[in-house]
Structure 1
Amino acid sequence: MSHLEQTKDFKGVADVFMRDPALYGSLLHFIEAVMTRASALTVAEREIIASYVSHLNGCDFCVGVHHATLKSLKADDDVLAQLTTGPHSSAIDDRLRAVLTFAEKLTRDPHGIGPDEIDTLRDAGWDDQAIEDAINVISLFAYVNRLVDATGVKGSTDYFAYVGEMLATEGYAPLIKMAARKAG
């Protein structure tokens, strides 16, 4: 159930974006860049980070969408199962585990991030650009999770599957185009 009158009939966060495309259009471009541009972090790894951060933040909607995206990307079922219990499973490789451990600290204790946390990521084999890319995914979902939860958007299994397939195959480009058309 939506918390805001203007979002009461919305099926998902895309409806929030389309309600005010002049406001959210730039955000959609940023999301597209963070989640799909060339990076040492694969698109699937960024989706895993997004899903894990969303789990940490208790955002069931974003967990649903990004798990569906990962399924469409053919992510390992063991990895998906571990995203709700933490990154310490053998299904998650050491490099990604380091990023997810960092994501948990940045999500729960952002003021506690310092040189040691960055060095741990470097020691795991990530360069500074990949680390910045991870920081952007983590920070982006801190915002999007709060937007979704505060507006009360809930989604459904069918919605998650539809959006997950779109994100896996086309990224955020369809939403950007829709927002541009709607903005005039």
Structure 2
Amino acid sequence: MAFVSSLPDETVGPTVWQLHPEAYSAWPDICVSIMASESELTLGEKELIGAYSSALRGCRHCYTAHYPVAVAYGIDQELFQDIMRDPEDAPVDVKTRALLVFVKKLCDEPGTFSRADVERLMAAGWSERTASDAIKMSGLFAFMNVMMIGHGADDVDLTDIGPVHAIIRGRGKYGHGEGTGRQNVLLVMRESISKYGLFNTLKAIRRGRQLGVVGNKKKKAH
């Protein structure tokens, strides 16, 4: 439940931004510059970092918004349960395991994070650029995690929006629900149906409209 009286009980990112739009005007560009930039990380791995770091910080909103996108981009859904128990024992290759351990320490123990952690990641086969990419992505989601937790929106479950969210993220410049999804909802629906089926798409659209993040219908604050 939202902690701010001018927000709906079920509050999502775009709704929070409407409180102070000028303060968030640069946010889409920041997301594009970090998440859509060239990297040896795949789209799925980028979304995995975002979802995993959000889960570690206890932000259900961002976790459920992004783990379905990671799955849509090829990440095994069962992996999320494994890495939340212990990334060291996750059934993944050495490079992916090292990346997850790196992100976990950055989130859970930032005060003890050191050059040795970066060197261990690179020793597993990643580049220095990838270490920097993982840090930027974790930091990007940290901002949104704090925004959602602070406004009381961290418990909103966005899992059902996964199919449409994945399409929006993949359209051009890492689109956001408040932009691409609203403006091109029919195109997004057609693409989602072809990839994820009619049932999952309709469920996503229904939940998106309910929250005011898909289509032109906006949920009024109270």
**Alignment TM-score, normalising by the size of structure 1:** 0.84
Cα deviation code 1:11-36 (max 9, x no counterpart): 42122234433221212211122222
CA distance in 2, matches of 1:16, 1:68: 22
CA RMSD in angstroms comes to 2.4
Structure 1 pair 141–22 and aligned structure 2 pair: CA distance change class (3 A): same
Which residue number corresponds to residue 137 of structure 1? 137
Match of 1:173 in 2: 175
Change (3 A) 1:46 1:37: same
Paired with 1:49 and 1:70, the residues of 2 have a C-alpha distance of 9
- Gaps spanning 5+ residues in structure 2: where? 184-222
Listed one character per residue, the Cα deviations across residues 113-167 of structure 1 (whole Å, up to 9, x for unaligned) are: 1121111011011111111000001111221111111112224443455334422
Give the partner amino acid of 1:142. A
Which of the two has higher C-alpha Rg? 2
Q: Distance in 2 between matches of 1:171 and 1:161?
A: 17
- d(CA) in 2 for partners of 1:18, 1:160: 23
TM-score, with normalisation over the residues of structure 2? 0.71
- Which structure carries more helix by proportion? 1
Between the aligned partners of 2:37 and 2:157, the Cα distance in structure 1 is 27
Which residue of structure 1 aligns with residue 215 of structure 2?
Answer: none
* Aligned length, in residue pairs: 179
Query: Aligned AA for 2:64?
Result: G
Contact 1:72 1:165 in 2 (8 A): no
Gap change, CA 1:157 and 1:117, over 3 Å in 2: closer
Higher relative contact order (CA 8 A, sep 6+): 1
Structure 1 segment 29-108 matched on structure 2, within 5 A: 29-108=29-108
Corresponding residue to 2:164 among 162, 165, 183: 162
Return 5+ residue gaps in structure 1 as ranges: none
What is the deviation of 1:175?
Answer: 5.1
Percent of aligned pairs with the same residue? 25
After superposition, the Cα gap between the structure-2 partners of 1:134 and 1:157, relative to the gap in structure 1 and judged at 3 Å, is closer
* Deviation sequence 1:23-52 (CA, Å, 0-9, x none): 212122111222221101111111111111
Mapping for residues 105-124 of structure 1, pairs under 5 Å: 105-124=105-124
Contact persistence 2:2–2:11 (CA under 8 A):
no
Q: State the shift of 1:9 in Å.
A: 5.5
The residue type equivalent to 1:136 in the other structure is K
Greater shift, 131-140 or 91-100, is seen at 91-100
Whole-angstrom distance in 2 between the partners of 1:22 and 1:28: 12
Residue 20 of structure 1: aligned partner: 20
Instruction: From the superposition, tell whether residues 93 and 171 of structure 1 become closer, same or farther in structure 2 (CA, over 3 Å).
Output: farther
SS at match of 1:34: helix
